[in-house]
């Protein structure tokens, strides 16, 4: 098991949309009618029944802090504010019963929104932190609790099930989320067990008043063992069921663990290292846009460090990247280093003949288009950025403002029938296809519990269609880079091989390894490349480069 989780932070991107949402291929987990997380009406009714202190005007996160400074002294330094700052209602001359402390309340609200509303933590949490006025260590504590609980949900659910003597899915959703939050504090943070139990019972009192005794008993049972002891009790034996053991020990669904192991050639030791890395807080990566910012100077400006591999990467020590002047004025943007590498590889590939017409066929939300547009400006080229979802097309336009980029709001599969997307026209084509996102689970931890194997068939069909369209768009001799943020072999090797076989014309694979910086370890045997969090510190990006014959 891993140690205490470090505070997380919001990441680039947005709620998945694009092709799946526009064309009705939306997987089941994205449908708001999904009842996996319980009866929404019941949850809303319980929230409306909260005590008055938890429903004060202008304070959606509750009123008083939990019992003043006595318990606050058990929390991280920023979690020790005065107990009556957020309200002082008095009834009969006595203080009103304190509500849950604000960082825990915000974490709970974010977790509940993820499970109740299919929200994404990187979208809802920043707004909640701002609304609650949390900054510094308080914000870091709330963020740690939110992301850590979401990452470890599978294992926490197994532990709660055992401690409660009933399946976790039979527990009322608001109480269930509170128990997850409490169990995470007990097992994965330095919060003393008694403080974690007491604060969680206070939380249950506000969201499910009839379950306080039940919650207290469950949480006290959870304190009877540490995380490793719970895994030893509940996980299958590693010798007889290595996939099941790793799934529970490192809180990933079994099908995802199996897909990772297959992509890593069956190496269970390396699979374990990947799972551990997936549960760590990912660093913030900036992309210094070529021609607009020097990465060394940008690193000095933001107090960061130049990246290990991408010539444009800057690692941030923390904070809110959106507040940086370099991001606000378009000299840089937030982008994982792996995404920078695969986009740059397309531009680095040798090309005979003209090189002025570039195409990004699946451009939203615009990170790779921003980098490609900046590179195009330095080389006298122009980029056409295609996005099927209108709101994501607007994001692309914002991300590429001032660059030689034309944004086209259309379906990328219309190459040849849309006059803006003629066949055999473009010199370089990027197909950053919609995928399961299994390569970015450390940044979007809730995705590991939402994705299902049944999502793969419609996604891989869409991937093949888009790659085929990209190959049609490339001129003879032109290059196409196929990219996914997933290491699943069906989305990577199978998709690219099948598309190349079915496209109706000849294509050659270009060895992608020389297109990446010299000295990068663990790039495999080629011609494709799979990046990994535990090997390269990047998201698990896949890259295949094809040349149209």
Asked, as a colleague might, if the bond just before 96 is cis with ω within 30 of 0, I would say no
pLDDT band for 99, please (50, 70, 90 cuts).
low
CB 471 within 8 A of CB 507: yes
pLDDT band for 157, please (50, 70, 90 cuts).
very high
CB 60 within 8 A of CB 109: yes
pLDDT average, residue stretch 525-532: 97
pTM score: 0.83
pLDDT tens-digit readout, 424-453:
999 999 999 999 999 999 999 999 999 999
Residue with tokens 């590991």: 448
pLDDT average, residue stretch 157-165: 98
What is the structure's pLDDT at 319? Answer: 76
The structure tokens listed for 106 are 């915000």
Binding residue ranges: 362-368, 387, 411, 432
pLDDT band for 418, please (50, 70, 90 cuts).
very high
Q: Considering only 13-27, 130-144, 147-161, 400-414, which range has the smallest mean pLDDT?
A: 13-27
What is the structure's pLDDT at 323? Answer: 86
What is the structure's pLDDT at 137? Answer: 93
What is the structure's pLDDT at 317? Answer: 84
3-state SS, residue 66: coil
What is the structure's pLDDT at 322? Answer: 84
Torsion 59-62-68-71 (CA) sign: negative
What is the structure's pLDDT at 446? Answer: 96
What is the structure's pLDDT at 468? Answer: 98
Pairing of strands 357-360, 305-306: unpaired
Binding residue ranges for S-adenosyl-L-methionine: 362-368, 387, 411, 432
Query: Which residue, 516, 526, 512, is CA-closest to 480?
Result: 512
CA distance 522 to 454: 31
CA distance 497 to 264: 19
CB 251 within 8 A of CB 244: no
pLDDT average, residue stretch 384-413: 98
What is the structure's pLDDT at 51? Answer: 35
CA distance 509 to 516: 16
What is the structure's pLDDT at 318? Answer: 77
**Has residue 34 got a pLDDT over 90?**
no
Position with higher pLDDT, 507 vs 71: 507
Position with higher pLDDT, 282 vs 543: 543
Torsion 255-256-259-265 (CA) sign: negative
pLDDT average, residue stretch 246-251: 98
What is the structure's pLDDT at 62? Answer: 41
**Has residue 61 got a pLDDT over 50?**
no
The structure tokens listed for 88 are 């002082």
CA distance 109 to 267: 39
pLDDT band for 100, please (50, 70, 90 cuts).
confident
**Has residue 47 got a pLDDT over 50?**
no
The phi and psi torsions of 222 (rounded to 5 degrees) equal -65, -35
**Has residue 489 got a pLDDT over 60?**
yes
What is the structure's pLDDT at 79? Answer: 38
**Has residue 8 got a pLDDT over 90?**
no
pLDDT tens-digit readout, 492-514:
999 999 999 999 999 999 999 99
Query: Which residue, 345, 286, 275, is CA-closest to 315?
Result: 286
CB 129 within 8 A of CB 106: yes
CA distance 428 to 479: 5
What is the structure's pLDDT at 246? Answer: 98
Position with higher pLDDT, 268 vs 318: 268
Pairing of strands 426-432, 90-91: unpaired
pLDDT tens-digit readout, 373-385:
999 999 999 999 9
The phi and psi torsions of 89 (rounded to 5 degrees) equal -60, 135
CA distance 513 to 526: 6
What is the structure's pLDDT at 74? Answer: 38
What is the structure's pLDDT at 249? Answer: 98
pLDDT average, residue stretch 178-185: 98
The structure tokens listed for 408 are 């086209």
CA distances (Å), origin 425, targets 357, 458, 472, 499, 519: 8, 28, 9, 19, 35
3-state SS, residue 332: strand
pLDDT band for 155, please (50, 70, 90 cuts).
very high
Question: What does the DSSP 8-state code read for residue 490?
Answer: I
What is the structure's pLDDT at 252? Answer: 98
The phi and psi torsions of 138 (rounded to 5 degrees) equal -65, -45
pLDDT average, residue stretch 224-248: 98
pLDDT band for 76, please (50, 70, 90 cuts).
very low
**Has residue 90 got a pLDDT over 70?**
no
3-state SS, residue 203: helix
pLDDT tens-digit readout, 289-338:
999 999 999 999 999 999 999 999 999 987 788 889 999 999 999 999 99
Helical (H) or strand (E) element with 405: strand 405-409
pLDDT band for 164, please (50, 70, 90 cuts).
very high
pLDDT tens-digit readout, 351-361:
999 999 999 99
> Mean of the per-residue pLDDT values for the chain?
86
For the question of residue 485 being annotated catalytic, the response is: yes
- Ramachandran region of residue 127, left (φ > 0), alpha (ψ -120 to 50) or beta? alpha
**Has residue 397 got a pLDDT over 60?**
yes
pLDDT average, residue stretch 515-530: 96
């Amino acid at each position: 098991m891993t140690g205490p989780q470090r505070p997380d932070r919001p990441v680039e991107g947005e709620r998945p949309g694009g092709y799946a949402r526009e064309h009705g291929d939306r997987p089941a987990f994205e449908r708001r009618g999904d009842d996996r997380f319980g009866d929404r009406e019941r949850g809303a009714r319980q929230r409306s029944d909260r005590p008055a202190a938890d429903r004060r005007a202008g304070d959606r996160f509750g009123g008083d802090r939990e019992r003043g400074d006595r318990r606050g002294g058990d929390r991280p330094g920023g979690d020790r504010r005065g107990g009556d700052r957020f309200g002082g209602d008095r009834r009969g001359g006595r203080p009103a019963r304190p509500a849950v402390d604000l960082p825990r309340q915000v974490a709970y609200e974010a977790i509940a929104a993820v499970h109740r509303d299919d929200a994404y933590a990187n979208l809802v949490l920043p707004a909640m932190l701002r609304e609650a006025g949390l900054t510094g260590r308080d914000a870091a504590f709330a963020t740690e609790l939110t992301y850590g609980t979401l990452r470890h949900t599978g294992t926490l659910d197994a532990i709660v099930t055992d401690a409660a003597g009933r399946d976790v899915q039979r527990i009322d959703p608001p109480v269930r989320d509170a128990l997850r939050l409490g169990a995470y504090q007990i097992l994965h943070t330095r919060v003393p067990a008694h403080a974690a139990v007491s604060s969680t019972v206070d939380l249950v009192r506000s969201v499910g008043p009839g379950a306080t005794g039940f919650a207290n008993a469950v949480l006290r049972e959870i304190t009877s063992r540490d995380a490793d002891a719970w895994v030893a009790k509940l996980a299958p034996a590693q010798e007889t069921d290595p996939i099941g053991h790793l799934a529970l020990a490192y809180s990933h669904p079994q099908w995802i663990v199996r897909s990772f192991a297959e992509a890593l050639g069956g190496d269970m030791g390396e699979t374990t290292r990947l799972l551990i890395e997936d549960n760590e807080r990912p660093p913030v990566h900036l992309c210094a846009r070529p021609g607009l910012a020097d990465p060394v100077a940008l690193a000095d400006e933001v107090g960061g460090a130049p990246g290990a591999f991408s010539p444009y990467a800057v690692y941030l020590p923390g904070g809110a990247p959106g507040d940086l002047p370099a991001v606000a004025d378009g000299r840089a943007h937030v982008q994982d280093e792996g995404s920078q590498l695969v986009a740059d590889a397309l531009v680095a590939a040798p090309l005979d003949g003209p090189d002025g017409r570039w195409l990004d066929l699946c451009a939203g939300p615009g990170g790779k288009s921003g980098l490609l547009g900046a590179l195009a400006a330095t080389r006298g080229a122009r980029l056409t950025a295609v996005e099927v979802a209108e709101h994501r097309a607007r994001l692309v336009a914002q991300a590429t403002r001032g660059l030689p980029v034309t944004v086209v709001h259309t379906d990328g599969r219309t190459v040849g029938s849309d006059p803006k997307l003629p066949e055999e026209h473009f010199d370089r084509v990027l197909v950053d296809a919609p995928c399961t996102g299994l390569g970015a689970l450390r940044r979007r931890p809730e995705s590991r519990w939402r994705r299902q194997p049944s999502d793969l068939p419609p996604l891989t069909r869409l991937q093949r269609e888009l790659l085929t369209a990209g190959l049609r768009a490339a001129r003879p001799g032109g290059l196409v880079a196929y990219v996914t943020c997933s290491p699943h072999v069906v989305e990577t090797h199978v998709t690219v091989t099948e598309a190349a076989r079915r496209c109706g014309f000849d294509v050659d694979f270009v060895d992608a390894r020389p297109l990446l910086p010299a000295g990068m370890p663990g790039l495999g045997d080629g011609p494709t490349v799979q990046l990994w969090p535990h090997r390269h510190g990047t998201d698990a990006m896949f890259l295949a480069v094809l040349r149209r014959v």
